[in-house]
């Protein structure tokens, strides 16, 4: 298959291009598109054959369900049960980088038969234009091959999925750079399943108590977030997490042994938001350069720092990192 690579204006996407992408979605094909978090790989959520193609293209285990994307809450009223907390969070943070796991109202979903469904209303103009033009709810995981870091640039998607999908809408780099915050609201106490740009502190300010389970605490339960069963991205080279200011002296020890070292100094960014935006791109670059060791400065686990450390711990393969 020849993948169409179409450049689109990120703020004011050209309608002819969006229309072409929407036709592909309506016809049961796959389109990768930018969102405010990472690039997604979209299909018509209610077309089982189209959704199945996502799993093939990404080589994703078939029991790992997808997030459904629509332009407003009312599009989800028939598929998900919105309680008080879900409504409060959606009012506060939608459209935006927040995914809610809610009781599922669809008796026979196309997805593996979970009792819950993950829904999100994205804010990126390209995503919104595509949803509107297609007239569909769009099911979309991150547009990477399973086991690779989520794509934050169109070239990451090309590297992983060129030839396997119909089209890529290239709207430049994504602004947040980390996948959406996932909050599970189906039980008694809300749980943070994946930290992201909507921070724990922001969520607590709206709905109060939220638990932050560790992967080991969820073991043995029916899968809360099936994603946790699968090995998350880890670069080829071992990742070593060090305190701020330590990266170069530790790197010198490895270099003295003749090893090539990739260094990521998170403290050199003007803000943690900018470090988050760059993180997956840097990890992909280290793999491409073929470095022997990757040394990354840790950040404080508060605000967006919780999400950054979560992805870094996964990259460093720390066993007890919280779910994502």
List of residues contacting ligand TXA (CB under 6 A): 35, 37-38, 40, 64-67, 99, 101, 114, 116-118, 120, 140-142, 179-180, 182, 193, 224-227
**d(Cα 182, Cα 273) in Å, to the nearest integer?**
18
How near is the Cβ of 205 to Mg ion at its closest, in Å?
27
How near is the Cβ of 293 to Mg ion at its closest, in Å?
26
Taking CB atoms, the residue at the shortest distance from ligand TXA is 227
Partner whose footprint covers residue 151, from Mg ion, ligand TXA, none (CB < 5 to 8 Å by kind)? none
Strand partners, 116: 103
How near is the Cβ of 317 to ligand TXA at its closest, in Å?
17
Using the 8-state DSSP alphabet, how is residue 252 labeled?
H
Partner whose footprint covers residue 120, from Mg ion, ligand TXA, none (CB < 5 to 8 Å by kind)? ligand TXA
How near is the Cβ of 122 to ligand TXA at its closest, in Å?
6
How near is the Cβ of 40 to Mg ion at its closest, in Å?
9
Structure tokens given for 86: 């879900």
Cα dihedral 281→287→289→292 (10° resolution): 130
Strands (E), 104-198: 116-120, 138-139, 167-170, 181-184, 191-194
> Among 3, 64, 71, 142, which residue sits at the site for Mg ion (rule: CB under 5 A)?
142
Q: H helices of 115-262, where?
A: 125-134, 154-161, 200-207, 215-218, 247-256
Asked whether the beta carbons of 236 and 230 are under 8 A apart, the reply is no
Between 89 and 247, whose beta carbon lies closer to ligand TXA? 89
Between 112 and 245, whose beta carbon lies closer to ligand TXA? 112
Q: Beta strands 116-120 and 67-69: pairing type?
A: parallel
Partner whose footprint covers residue 235, from ligand TXA, Mg ion, none (CB < 5 to 8 Å by kind)? none
Asked whether the beta carbons of 17 and 6 are under 8 A apart, the reply is yes
Partner whose footprint covers residue 71, from Mg ion, ligand TXA, none (CB < 5 to 8 Å by kind)? none
| Residue 99 is a binding residue for Mg ion (CB under 5 A) | no
| Residue 310 is a binding residue for Mg ion (CB under 5 A) | no
Between 261 and 323, whose beta carbon lies closer to ligand TXA? 323
Closest of 300, 157, 162, 311 to residue 232, by C-alpha: 311
Interface positions with Mg ion (CB under 5 A): 141-142
């Amino acid at each position: 298959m020849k993948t169409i690579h179409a450049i689109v204006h990120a703020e004011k996407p050209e309608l002819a291009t969006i229309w072409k992408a929407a036709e592909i979605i309506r016809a049961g094909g796959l389109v990768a598109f930018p969102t405010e978090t990472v690039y997604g790989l979209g299909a018509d959520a209610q077309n089982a054959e189209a959704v199945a193609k996502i799993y093939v293209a990404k080589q994703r285990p078939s029991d790992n369900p997808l997030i459904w994307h629509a332009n407003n809450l009312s599009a989800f009223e028939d598929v998900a049960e919105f309680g008080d907390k879900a409504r409060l969070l959606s009012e506060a943070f939608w459209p935006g980088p927040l995914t809610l796991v809610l009781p599922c109202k669809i008796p026979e979903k196309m997805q593996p038969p979970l009792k819950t469904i993950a829904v999100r209303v994205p804010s990126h103009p390209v995503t919104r234009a595509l949803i509107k033009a297609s007239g569909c709810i769009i099911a979309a995981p991150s547009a990477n091959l399973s086991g690779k870091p989520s794509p934050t640039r169109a070239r990451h998607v090309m590297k992983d999925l060129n030839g396997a999908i119909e089209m890529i809408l290239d709207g430049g780099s994504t602004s947040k750079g980390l996948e959406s915050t996932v909050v599970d609201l189906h039980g008694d106490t809300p749980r943070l399943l994946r930290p992201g740009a909507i921070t724990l502190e922001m969520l607590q300010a709206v709905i109060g108590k939220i638990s932050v389970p560790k992967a080991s605490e969820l073991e043995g339960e029916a899968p809360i977030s099936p994603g946790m069963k699968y090995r998350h991205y880890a670069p080829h080279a071992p990742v070593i997490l060090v305190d701020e200011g330590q990266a170069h002296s530790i790197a010198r020890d490895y270099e003295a042994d003749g090893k090539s070292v990739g260094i990521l100094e998170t403290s050199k960014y003007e803000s943690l938001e900018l470090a988050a935006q760059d993180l997956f791109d840097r990890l992909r670059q280290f793999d491409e350069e073929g470095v022997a060791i990757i040394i990354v400065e840790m950040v404080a686990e508060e605000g967006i720092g919780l999400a950054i450390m979560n992805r870094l711990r996964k990259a460093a393969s720390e066993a007890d990192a919280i779910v994502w």
